[in-house]
Amino acid sequence: MSAAAASTVTFESRFATELAEMGIPWKAEEVPNPRLLVLNEPLAAELGFDPGFLRSPEGLRLLIGNDVPAGAAPVAQAYSGHQFGGFSPRLGDGRALLLGEISDAGGRLRDIHLKGSGRTPFARGGDGFAVVGPMLREYIVSEAMHALGIPTTRSLAVVATDRPVQRETVLPGAVLTRVAGSHLRVGSFQYARVAGDDGLLRRLADHAIARHYPDAAEADNPYLALFDAVIGAQAALLARWMLVGFIHGVMNTDNMAISGETIDYGPCAFMDAFDPATVYSSIDENGRYAYANQPLIAEWNLTRLAEALLPLFDDDEERAVERAQESLGEFRRQYSSAWLAGMKAKLGLHGGVADDVASHLIDDLLGLLQEGRVDYTSFFRRLGSAARGNGGPARSMFTEPDAFGAWTERWRTLNPDADRMDRVNPAYVPRNHLVEEALAAGTNGDLEPLGRLLEAVTDPYNERPGVERYKEAAPESFGPYRTFCGT
Ligand code: AMP
Ligand code: MG
């Protein structure tokens, strides 16, 4: 029965076929003893998989690419990328594969992708592997982002390979099975552009339009419409990141998706104490990807996308540049308006509150949060109680509560809506100390902390008894926190 259930999921190889120049046919490394660490049953169902089958030995072989389903044609995808500002024309999937695409229950085409599946021709010096900790981190954080309502790639499963992998120490290997609207990146367009083949660039853009922005096909200039749509999606995405305190950590152009989904969870983290300069990634020495820089970096990356797309905007280069600049101007406007609307919601302010009044209130509040190094997530949740008349819990977070008291008076005259606040201010996010606890245990074979953390963060707005410790800030003894990339 399980084999029959599996066969109802039909794989396709559209990327591999339509964009053959951008993929190298490849196979995942054979894993003799795969062991399932975590399976996302709701996502499996959404994709049409029988979870019982995925747990079976054949299912595990599918999840790690050792059995290639009919219709799939796995490829290592080629892409370029600006990494910390420096351009690498040939990056590509060094340790990942696009297995193929499937249509989900809603008829949407989704990529099934493997991370940690062995060396590919793009591996350069890397070993092609991934280890349990970072793959569980991607699973936790991507599923938390999804539950928060933030566009993201999804995690279907993490499978342990029982292969020892050399990092600073020897660590257990794992493969993540990732699901995405697509894996088209800004870097994919950069790759097509440096290939100097306008036909390829056009085919890639047409593929992106068909998959993500079909309305653009009807526009006077479909490629400019594609660019505008990506700008809109990224402006909305970045506003969501900033509002929830998410720090991606490595916003290279190869890690920015055309779909507007958050992609490539490496050294990412949720901000604890509010500070615009927060950087967690150990390799981000100059703070290029610090919390407050993220919208600027997104705009910078979109400018690189514009450069890649220029030949499609207009035959006349000057005119093409003009049109790109007009479009790029929209990013700031759309980002700012999405961010302000989101901040107003976080403060429970009604639509009728004037933007300049709200902006002043927000600026003053953020100043106070920064000064007091106040825990960002807890603060907004406690502010919901303040809107209900219980100001103590929020007030107690400030070392100098009087200034906050005065701010609260101003805010309360605007009649904040506490229920609205609870719908947008999460109680549970994957806090750094909890993520580390789950990864350390998971690496040692204890998956219970992972399961409990997932339970909390996949239902983030619904505060409930039994999971109190998941909404508390890290203990004083935790930190300073550092995350690591390329792991
Ligand atoms: P990332 O930081 O995960 O976005 O990766 C950046 C680039 O390095 C991509 O081309 C990856 O495929 C490649 N890469 C990262 N880790 C490894 C590894 N262990 N083996 C081979 N390639 C890797
Ligand atoms: Mg990447």
Average pLDDT, the chain: 96
Q: Whose CA is nearest to atom 6 of ligand 1?
A: 486
DSSP 222-272: HHHHHHHHHHHHHHHHHHHHHHHTEE-S---GGG-BTTS-B---SS-EE-S
Asked whether the predicted pLDDT for residue 296 surpasses 70, the reply is: yes
pLDDT at 5 over 50: no
Give the DSSP H/E element, type plus range, for residue 102.
strand 96-103
Mean pLDDT of 368-391: 97
Strand partners, 129: 117
Phi-psi region of 29 (alpha: psi -120 to 50; beta: other; left: phi over 0): beta
253 CB less than 6 Å from ligand 1?
A: no
- pLDDT tens digit string along 205-260? 999 999 999 999 999 999 999 999 999 999 999 999 999 999 999 999 999 999 99
What is the pLDDT at residue 390?
96
Which of the four pLDDT bands, split at 50, 70 and 90, describes residue 1? very low
Cα torsion 221, 222, 224, 230 to 10°: value is: 160
Ligand 1 closest atom vs CA 128: 20
Q: Which two tokens stand for residue 68?
A: 């290639």
Beta bridge partners of 175: 159
Structure tokens at 140: 């936790």
Q: H-type helices in 413-470, by residue range?
A: 418-424, 432-443, 448-457
Ligand 1: which residue has its CA nearest to atom 13? Answer: 94
Model-level pTM?
A: 0.97
Distance of alpha carbon 442 from alpha carbon 437, whole angstroms: 8
Query: How many whole angstroms from 236 Cα to the centroid of ligand 1?
Result: 27
| Of 93, 228, 254, 284, catalytic | 254
Pocket test for ligand 1, best of 26, 75, 95 (most atoms within 8 A of CB): 95
What pLDDT, in 10s, does the model give residues 329-376?
A: 999 999 999 999 999 999 999 999 999 999 999 999 999 999 999 999
For ligand 1, the distance from its centroid to the CA atom of residue 15, given in whole angstroms, is 20
Q: Which residues contact 62 (CB under 8 A, 6 or more apart)?
A: 6, 54, 69
pLDDT digits 0-9 by tens, 84-128: 999 999 999 999 999 999 999 999 999 999 999 999 999 999 999
Count the neighbouring beta carbons within 10 Å of the beta carbon of residue 144: 25
Return the structure tokens found at 203: 């085919």
- The yes-or-no answer on residue 254 being catalytic is yes
